[in-house]
A and B are shown apart, each in its own frame.
Chain A
Amino acid sequence: MEIEYTGQSGLYGLMASFDRPEPLLEAAREARAEGYRDMDAYAPMPVEGLAEAVGFRSNSVSRIVFAGGLMGAIGGFGLMWWISVIAYPHIVDGRPLNSWPAYIPITFECMVLIASITAVVGMLALNGLPRPYHPVFNVPQFERASRDQFFLCIEATDPKFDLAATRRFLEHLKPLEVMEVEA
């Protein structure tokens, strides 16, 4: 996947910083109301409603985890059935070859295993991680995004992005600072 970092101005975008989550949430909502679409917010912890405020709609993690769990359960049961009935048929304890209740613990474990792996790998893949380089890290203050500051970045790819106008818009949100993000 080719990642397009820059818009016409040669910048990745403009970034505003805040010291609390509430103004960031407010800023993200205002930016969306203003018509901006290509933007993202960065926070040192999950902020309720922030993803929706920057226009995130479909969280498909649950669906893929369900699919993973289903595959794990079918795979686990199938493997046990195939071993006992097809590959290595032996009568144990006088039980039928397909003594399915005995397969349930392993079916369950395989369901949990595959669902969990899907949850983590799927979450990372949907997030596009690992990603060694990202333009937001070019902003020196951004190291506080993992400590105590909250950032809103309007990206240059947005059709409404205009260096001067967007800067003016961000400044009226009363951030700590507005910074240019180099691509």
Chain B
Amino acid sequence: MDTEQPTTTAVSIDPGPAKVLGPGHDYGTVTDKIGGVVFMPFTKTPRQMFIGFACGFVLVNIFLVAVTWLFIRGVGVWGIRIPIAWGFAIVNFVWWIGIGHAGTLISAILLLLKQDWRTSINRFSEAMTLFAVACAGMFPILHLGRPWLAYWLVPYPNTMWLWPQPRSPLIWDVFAVSTYATVSLLFWFTGLIPDLATMRDKARGPVGRKIYGVLAMGWRGSARHWSRYQKAYLLLAGLSTPLVVSVHSVVSFDFAIAILPGWHTTIFPPYFVAGAIYSGFAMVLSLAIPVRRWYHLEDLITMRHIECMAKVMLGTGLIVAYGYGMEAFIAWYSGNQYERFMYMNRAWLGHYWWTFALLITCNILIPQALWSRRVRMNVGAVFVISLVVNVGMWLERFVIVVTSLERDFLSSSWNRYYPTVWDWATYFGTIGVFLSLMFLFIRGLPAISIFEMREVVHQLTHPEEPSPAHGD
């Protein structure tokens, strides 16, 4: 029994943009390297992890205060006022749920497309999906006004003999988001089962053995089990692929089916889905780049991964740019005075013109730097651009929600929207919830799929055989 399993023997050498795995790895070393992050003693844990978690935790507390105040006083503590009934809550909801989409895209769609570079980042981005959806899901509920009655959204037999309205996109949203959260959790957990067994067998303390043991459910790597497992995993990927497209389409219906100028647009579903993937990849990069450095994972998350993600960001960013272009074109081409006014107001007449200018800068102008290979190969530059895109995608939702609502059909009902300190506290609070959960995840569970990395090792050492793809 080898009790002293080395945790840091494999040296971190970035093999560059051609490889998905550094040199000198075998089944054992990838296991030790990834598992070693979890079993690293507290004294050896990178200091940045503690600082990061502390920042996240402070923000969680701010979130708790903000939500408590909201519960005491009601939604009036926020800046929402008629006709701007959807303020930060919906901006943040759409932003968070969009971020989640990259996780499903990486784990499901890239799996079906047999993209070998997905393996090092899929677990990580699935966790990101899960936590982002958790943050997203809180906002519509907090926005209800009486959040303790949130269960009224679900169709259930009740003494009031009332039922939700199935023709409304808002109720589609309830089904879409709850399904998305559940399926993301299932997908993530299913992927974790074999690695939880590895953790169970690697754990030296009795507590760790018990916890991982219970979670691994007695997984023993039987050939029959693997066969069913791969089939189930492949089917989950197949089911998640249309799901991820449907979720953000439904979110966009919340806007597109309303008759408000600036919302009532057929381009919304594809443009929202592209924007979701855009912001999600930005968030994966914003998280993976620092973690890769702190834990010296350069030989597992290589420049190949960073470059591929940068390219996906550039591609989806261009689709988003097309969406903006179409909005402007249709505003003019439709000849509809309300549409034209809305666009003029959004872009330069309104008092929030600068958010639109910033949005174009962050989402369209700055990311064009990624055309250059030198920029894509520069980790620092990619990191900065990913942060810029995160900000830009938040601004996009702000512009769509706020500038459209501020100026509807009747000038007598126009109003201005200003977020309050509680809006900001709730928003930054959820960033804290997200970061804290991410840091706890990296500390407690293997952040890279170990068994799939073993498959990568196998593939690299046997290049002549067909790749051991999932399922058939």
**Chain B 203-236 per-residue mask, 1 if CB under 8 angstroms from chain A, else 0:** 0000000000100011111111111111110011
Tally of chain A residues near chain B (CB < 8 A): 69
Nearest chain A CB to B20's CB is how many angstroms away? 16
Nearest chain A CB to B73's CB is how many angstroms away? 33
Nearest chain A CB to B368's CB is how many angstroms away? 35
B239 touches A115 (CB 8 A): yes
When A44-B198, A84-B166, A146-B198 are in contact, do A59 and B227 touch as well, CB less than 8 Å?
Answer: yes
Check B149 for interface membership: any CB of A closer than 8 A: no
26 residue pairs A–B, Cβ–Cβ below 8 Å: A40-B223, A42-B223, A44-B27, A44-B454, A45-B458, A46-B226, A46-B230, A46-B468, A53-B223, A54-B223, A59-B228, A80-B166, A83-B164, A88-B162, A105-B250, A106-B166, A108-B242, A113-B179, A119-B232, A124-B217, A126-B228, A129-B217, A130-B218, A146-B219, A147-B27, A148-B28
CA distance A92 to B276 in the complex (A): 31
Give the nearest-CB partner of A123 in chain B: B232
A53, A90, A115, A141 pick with most chain B CB within 10 angstroms: A115
Chain B hits for A51, CB < 8 A? 223-224, 226-227
A147 touches B166 (CB 8 A): no
Chain A hits for B197, CB < 8 A? 146
Q: CB < 8 Å: which of B28, B163, B231 contacts A87? A: B163
When A129-B217, A129-B218 are in contact, do A62 and B235 touch as well, CB less than 8 Å?
Answer: yes
* Band of interface residues on B: 35 or more
B223 touches A99 (CB 8 A): no
A102 touches B27 (CB 8 A): no
Q: CB < 8 Å: which of A43, A95, A120, A124 contacts B223? A: A43
Chain A hits for B468, CB < 8 A? 45-48
Give the nearest-CB partner of B30 in chain A: A148
The segment out of A2-10, A131-139, A163-171, A172-180 that lies at the interface is A131-139
Nearest chain A CB to B466's CB is how many angstroms away? 8
Nearest chain B CB to A64's CB is how many angstroms away? 10
A141 touches B1 (CB 8 A): yes
Q: CB < 8 Å: which of A50, A93, A108 contacts B226? A: A50
Classify the interface of chain B: helix, strand, loop or mixed: helix
Which residues of B are at the interface with A, using a C-beta cutoff of 8 A?
A: 1-2, 26-28, 31, 155, 161-167, 169, 171-172, 175-176, 179, 182-183, 186-187, 189-190, 194, 197-198, 200-202, 213, 217-232, 235-236, 239-240, 242-243, 246, 250, 253, 451-452, 454-455, 458, 466, 468, 470
Would you list the 5 A-B pairs with minimal beta carbon distance, nearest first?
A130-B217, A51-B227, A123-B232, A148-B27, A143-B201
B236 touches A116 (CB 8 A): yes
Which residues of chain A from 66 to 91 have any CB-CB distance to chain B below 8 Å in the complex? Answer: 69, 76, 79-80, 83-84, 87-88, 90
Nearest chain B CB to A22's CB is how many angstroms away? 8
Chain A hits for B235, CB < 8 A? 61-62, 65, 115, 119
Chain B hits for A28, CB < 8 A? 223
Given contacts A40-B223, A45-B452, 13 further A-B contacts (CB under 8 A): A41-B222, A43-B221, A44-B31, A44-B194, A44-B451, A45-B226, A54-B224, A84-B167, A102-B166, A105-B250, A120-B186, A129-B218, A130-B218
Nearest chain B CB to A140's CB is how many angstroms away? 5
B2, B221, B225 pick with most chain A CB within 10 angstroms: B221
Nearest chain B CB to A55's CB is how many angstroms away? 9
B26 touches A105 (CB 8 A): no
CA distance A123 to B189 in the complex (A): 13
A147 touches B198 (CB 8 A): yes
Nearest chain B CB to A47's CB is how many angstroms away? 7
Chain A hits for B458, CB < 8 A? 21, 45
**Chain A 94-114 per-residue mask, 1 if CB under 8 angstroms from chain B, else 0:** 010001001101101110110
CA distance A110 to B171 in the complex (A): 13
A129 touches B219 (CB 8 A): yes
When A46-B455, A146-B221 are in contact, do A109 and B246 touch as well, CB less than 8 Å?
Answer: yes
CA distance A145 to B243 in the complex (A): 35
Which residues of chain A from 8 to 62 have any CB-CB distance to chain B below 8 Å in the complex? Answer: 21, 28, 40-48, 50-51, 53-54, 56, 59, 61-62
Q: CB < 8 Å: which of B161, B230, B231, B246 contacts A105? A: B246
CA distance A109 to B197 in the complex (A): 32
Give the nearest-CB partner of B199 in chain A: A146
B198 touches A42 (CB 8 A): no
Chain A hits for B451, CB < 8 A? 44-46
CA distance A108 to B161 in the complex (A): 26
Nearest chain A CB to B446's CB is how many angstroms away? 11
When A50-B226, A146-B198, A147-B31 are in contact, do A105 and B175 touch as well, CB less than 8 Å?
Answer: yes
A140 touches B1 (CB 8 A): yes
Nearest chain B CB to A155's CB is how many angstroms away? 12
Chain A hits for B26, CB < 8 A? 148
Chain B hits for A53, CB < 8 A? 223
Chain A hits for B222, CB < 8 A? 40-42, 127
A134 touches B218 (CB 8 A): yes
CA distance A18 to B217 in the complex (A): 25
A65 touches B232 (CB 8 A): yes
Nearest chain B CB to A126's CB is how many angstroms away? 5
Nearest chain B CB to A84's CB is how many angstroms away? 5
Nearest chain B CB to A125's CB is how many angstroms away? 10
A105 touches B223 (CB 8 A): no
CA distance A76 to B179 in the complex (A): 12
Chain A hits for B167, CB < 8 A? 84, 92-93, 95, 99, 102
B200, B217, B228 pick with most chain A CB within 10 angstroms: B228
A109 touches B223 (CB 8 A): no
Chain B hits for A103, CB < 8 A? 166
B236 touches A120 (CB 8 A): yes
CA distance A145 to B244 in the complex (A): 35
Chain B hits for A40, CB < 8 A? 222-224
Give the nearest-CB partner of B453 in chain A: A45
